[in-house]
Amino acid sequence: SHPLLCPPGIKCGGVLSAPSGNFSSPNFPGLYPYETECTWLIVVAEGSSVLLSFSHFELEYHDTCAYDYLQVYNGAARDRGNLLGTFCGHSPPPPFSSAWHVMAVVFRSDRHVAKHGFAAAYRKDACGGQLTGLSGEITSPRYPESYPNDAECRWSIGGGSAAGPLTLVFADFQMEGGQGCGFDYVALFDGPTISAPHLGRYCGSKRPPRTISSTPHLLIVFKSDFNIGGRGFKAHFYSAGECQEVFTTIKGNFSSPQYPNFYPNNLKCQWSIHLPPGYRVKVFFLDMELEGRSSLTGGCDYDHLSAFDGGTENGSLLGRWCGRESLAPVTSRSNRLLLVLHTDRNTAKRGFSISYVGVVPMNVSCTRTDFHIQIPVQSLAQLERNRIYLGTPSCAAQVVGRNFKIHTRFDTCGTESQRRNNTSVIVSTLYIDFSVGEQEDIHQYEVQCEPKRKEASVTLIAGPDPSRLSQAENLVDAQQWEGEAMDAREVKSQDTSDIVFISICILAGLLMVIAVVGLVLL
């Protein structure tokens, strides 16, 4: 059969701005045409949301919906961070409630196999709905104006691609108060219905605490009585599985939601790293691509990743990044570090991949002839002393009191003399072997001493997954290595010039001796 192109005069797509309406695939309930693409943009009053449902759905099936498909966007189309889902076959999409006042639907058919298509209805839904995205925003009716009397709204969150617990954070809250919250209130349930366990009931002007469900479902019920209102509330939700994690292991890695695919819009995600006392956290950026800087301010005003020392957003800011950058590793000053990803309503990108390693607390000192290294046993409680060694396994640590200690002369344990910045230094490598079974995991620290000043320093040079990290660090530190290579070349040329200078001096001395002997003989 010949492909049917969309016949002239058939309405396909457009802007739908009425408070409610219906739309369907071209020719519905007949077969839709081949090679057709339609986009419907639903726009309702700002502050409202869109409730979208499907009464009929039949498209050509493919396991990844590569042929004919329907896509639903939580906002403008074509921004992958807004995509709520791609659908085909005979199973209708679930009802969708947008996170703001714009929703887009895209229908596409290829040149083979036509079906009957779909029929959909939408309405301005200022009160309640099914929310299935990884993240979103909920407001009381008419927010920030006073909410209406005698209202009851239910928002059921979950049932989409998010498989982890859900986090709900209230940004604003002002309702009628009262003993036991019997008049106006917000009630939270740990599941999709009111028969699920009760998580809390709130009223008045104090913001409810951050709430985390134990299931991938959360029900929010808002109710107002016949008089006395308030501004209402504004809350954000997000899937805590990919977006809210706490790490306590000595090393780890994580990435933005859906990495390396585009992250969702309208997120606030937090990754908290909490290591034993004395440790510091070193973070390596293996890959990063976020929305770029603002052309007006030059700052990271849109999507950005921030790092805070001390584990809370009140801690000192270690950095704030956006765009596509190769970043140098960042090290905390304490044993806690918090990374926060903010994304706005549009322009999503690939996101980021990060590894971190705990920097072991140690005291390194030196004399003109010896290294002294001391590590608290409690920091490496699970390790035998022979897992900690300087240069070679034969130079293993001793246990002295509550510390692992290495005390060694410069002429042993793989130490070598180098010139750095025109200064003679003694350098060696400290190995701490965390390997378990066949899983090799050896962390390396460079220890350095400047004997003239008796000054020592220590630097983490290899942590988790050395091949990936060294690759990442090579990219980042290329200029640094070039600088050091240049230093090395200078050192070599300096050494060579020293040798030439000494040779000339010796030759001049010999000639002088010969001349003196000649004079004496004469």
- pLDDT(516) > 70: no
First to last CA, the chain: 120
Contact 110, 33 (CB under 8 A): no
- 80: buried, middle or exposed (CB in 10 Å: 19+, 13-18, 0-12)? middle
Contact 86, 69 (CB under 8 A): yes
What DSSP assignment string belongs to 290-354? Answer: -----TTTSS--SSEEEEEETSSTTSPEEEEE-SS-----EE-SSSEEEEEEE--SS----EEEE
265/211: higher pLDDT = 211
Q: Which of 338, 383, 376, 374 is nearest to 356 (CA)?
A: 338
154/511: higher pLDDT = 154
Domain 13-125 sits in CATH at: 2.60.120.290
- pLDDT(314) > 50: yes
| Distance, CA of 320 to CA of 311 (rounded, Å) | 15
Supply the pLDDT for residue 184: 95
| Distance, CA of 411 to CA of 394 (rounded, Å) | 14
Amino acid letter, residue 129? G
pLDDT for 326-366, tens place per residue?
889 999 999 999 999 998 878 889 999 999 999 999 999 99
Q: Which of 371, 345, 357, 378 is nearest to 457 (CA)?
A: 371
Q: Which of the given ranges, 202-216, 226-240, 473-487, has the highest pLDDT on average?
A: 202-216
Supply the pLDDT for residue 242: 66
Task: Please state, for a pLDDT cut of 70, what percent of the chain lies above it.
Answer: 83
Q: What is the arithmetic mean of pLDDT over 400-414? A: 92
Phi-psi region of 513 (alpha: psi -120 to 50; beta: other; left: phi over 0): alpha
Among 259-263, 304-308, 448-452, whose mean pLDDT is lowest?
Answer: 259-263
Supply the pLDDT for residue 261: 86
pLDDT for 257-299, tens place per residue?
888 888 888 788 889 999 998 999 999 999 999 999 999 999 9
490/193: higher pLDDT = 193
Architecture of the 244-359 domain: Sandwich (2.60)
Contact 377, 403 (CB under 8 A): yes
Q: 130-234, what's its fold?
A: Jelly Rolls (2.60.120)
CA-CA-CA-CA torsion for 339, 343, 348, 349, nearest 10 degrees?
A: -20
505/52: higher pLDDT = 52
pLDDT for 345-356, tens place per residue?
788 899 999 999
Contact 75, 346 (CB under 8 A): yes
Among 27-31, 252-256, 507-511, whose mean pLDDT is lowest?
Answer: 507-511
Q: What is the arithmetic mean of pLDDT over 434-441? A: 86
Phi first, then psi, for residue 162 (nearest 5°) are: -70, 125
- The mean of the pLDDT values for the chain is 83
pLDDT for 366-378, tens place per residue?
999 999 999 999 8
Amino acid letter, residue 27? N
- pLDDT(50) > 90: no
Supply the pLDDT for residue 237: 84
Supply the pLDDT for residue 517: 60
The domain ranges of the chain are 13-125, 130-234, 244-359, 363-466
Contact 93, 120 (CB under 8 A): no
Judge if the upstream peptide bond of residue 94 is cis by omega within 30 degrees of 0.
Answer: no
Q: How many CA atoms lie within 13 A of 407 on its CB side?
A: 6
Q: What is the arithmetic mean of pLDDT over 120-127? A: 81
Q: What is the arithmetic mean of pLDDT over 216-235? A: 91
Supply the pLDDT for residue 484: 35
Confidence (pTM):
0.61
